[in-house]
């Protein structure tokens, strides 16, 4: 302060502004206050402002990277979710394609197997039918030989075989008809059906057929003979016989008596009598029944063999 006062005293221009010493003293005090205030302001500015600027420059760069990092984290999470969904979608596409390829492969395999099976079935049916025809011809020949030799055992054996072959022949015919119907219709998803057994036709028989069935009471009762009659019927129709003609029924009667001689009355033929002249039939005799005797036996419901035992 002493120095300041000296400096004030040394400056005559500034001192001459006032009129007395009292005013000079007041002026000097005011100047000191102003200087002090200036110093305070300078100290305040020199200490606080630079720090504020520094803090602002330091804080702002730190906040921006945080926001960017948060955005990067969010975008990375979203991208991972998108990638995950994309992988699932691609995997579902691959599975669907694999399933379609597998189903298509099964369908092709089924078609090939079905074609092969149809070819095998056709060949089997044809072979089966041809084999039955060959066996029937052989059995017929054996039966004729047995009749000529009056061999009862061979006759019975041949009759049984012939009846069985007639049933098999009917099966082959039914299979052939079913195969033709299947080819014409070509149904989808049709399950295989079991082979049906030979059945009588539902068609109403004609009066001529009813009359013949009444005269042959074994028809419909004896399964073997009935099936044999159906087999003979099929052969005659194939050969061109009219089912309503007299020749047709005569041929059926002749074939049935030829195949089942033990079931019908025995009628000696000249050729058979000559062939069996030197043989003895032990415990067996031939009885010829008249039409009236046959009618009486039928009315009584007695088999002809049993009725013949009482005819002298």
Range of the domain at 213: 207-263
Q: What is the largest CA-CA distance in the chain?
A: 201
* Residues present in the chain in total: 312
Is residue 94, in this structure, part of any structural domain at all? yes
In tens, the pLDDT along 275-304 reads 333 444 445 667 777 877 787 777 777 788
> 86 and 179: one domain?
yes
In 3D space, the residue among 11, 42, 44 whose CA is nearest the CA of residue 28 turns out to be 11
* Number of domains into which the chain is organized: 2
Report d(CA 128, CA 80) in Å as an integer.
70
Q: What's the pLDDT band for 54 if we cut at 50, 70, 90?
A: very low
Report d(CA 54, CA 49) in Å as an integer.
9
In tens, the pLDDT along 171-229 reads 888 888 887 787 776 555 455 555 555 444 456 778 888 888 888 888 888 887 888 88
Round the average pLDDT of the chain to a whole number and report it.
69
**132 vs 270, more confident:** 132
In 3D space, the residue among 224, 229, 223 whose CA is nearest the CA of residue 253 turns out to be 229
Is residue 158, in this structure, part of any structural domain at all? yes
> 139 and 213: one domain?
no
Q: What confidence score (pLDDT) does residue 269 get?
A: 43
275-287: burial string, b at 16+ Cβ within 10 Å, e else: eeeeeeeeeeeee
Is residue 14, in this structure, part of any structural domain at all? no
Is residue 303, in this structure, part of any structural domain at all? no
Is residue 235, in this structure, part of any structural domain at all? yes
In 3D space, the residue among 118, 234, 216 whose CA is nearest the CA of residue 172 turns out to be 234
Is residue 112, in this structure, part of any structural domain at all? yes
| pTM of the predicted model as reported, rounded to 2 decimal places | 0.27
> 178 and 85: one domain?
yes
> What is the mean predicted confidence (pLDDT) over 231-255?
86
Q: State which of 185, 217, 232 marks the end of a domain.
A: 185
Is residue 198, in this structure, part of any structural domain at all? no
Q: What's the pLDDT band for 267 if we cut at 50, 70, 90?
A: very low
Q: pLDDT above 70 covers what percent of the chain?
A: 60
């Amino acid at each position: 302060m002493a120095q300041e006062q000296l400096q004030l005293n040394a400056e005559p221009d500034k001192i001459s502004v006032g009129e007395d010493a009292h005013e000079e003293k007041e002026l000097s005090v005011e100047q000191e206050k102003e200087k002090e205030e200036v110093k305070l302001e300078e100290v305040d500015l020199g200490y606080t402002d630079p720090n504020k600027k520094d803090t602002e420059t330091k804080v702002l760069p730190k906040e921006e990277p945080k926001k960017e990092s948060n955005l990067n984290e969010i975008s990375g999470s979203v991208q991972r979710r998108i990638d995950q969904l994309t992988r699932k979608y691609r995997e579902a596409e691959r599975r669907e394609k694999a399933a379609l390829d597998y189903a298509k492969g099964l369908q092709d395999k089924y078609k090939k197997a079905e074609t092969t099976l149809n070819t095998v079935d056709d060949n089997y049916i044809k072979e089966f039918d041809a084999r039955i025809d060959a066996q029937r011809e052989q059995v017929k020949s054996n039966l004729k030989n047995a009749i000529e030799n009056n061999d009862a055992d061979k006759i019975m054996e041949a009759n049984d075989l012939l009846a069985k072959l007639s049933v098999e022949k009917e099966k082959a015919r039914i299979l052939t008809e079913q195969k033709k119907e299947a080819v014409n219709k070509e149904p989808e998803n049709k399950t295989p059906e079991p082979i049906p057994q030979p059945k009588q036709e539902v068609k109403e028989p004609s009066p001529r057929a009813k009359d013949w069935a009444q005269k042959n009471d074994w028809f419909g009762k004896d399964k073997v003979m009935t099936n044999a009659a159906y087999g003979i019927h099929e052969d005659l129709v194939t050969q061109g016989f009219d089912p309503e003609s007299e020749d047709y029924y005569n041929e059926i009667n002749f074939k049935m008596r030829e195949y089942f001689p033990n079931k019908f009355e025995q009628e000696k033929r000249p050729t058979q009598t000559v062939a069996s002249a030197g043989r003895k039939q032990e415990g067996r005799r031939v009885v010829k029944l008249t039409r009236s005797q046959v009618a009486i036996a039928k009315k009584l419901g007695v088999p002809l063999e049993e009725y013949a035992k009482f005819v002298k």
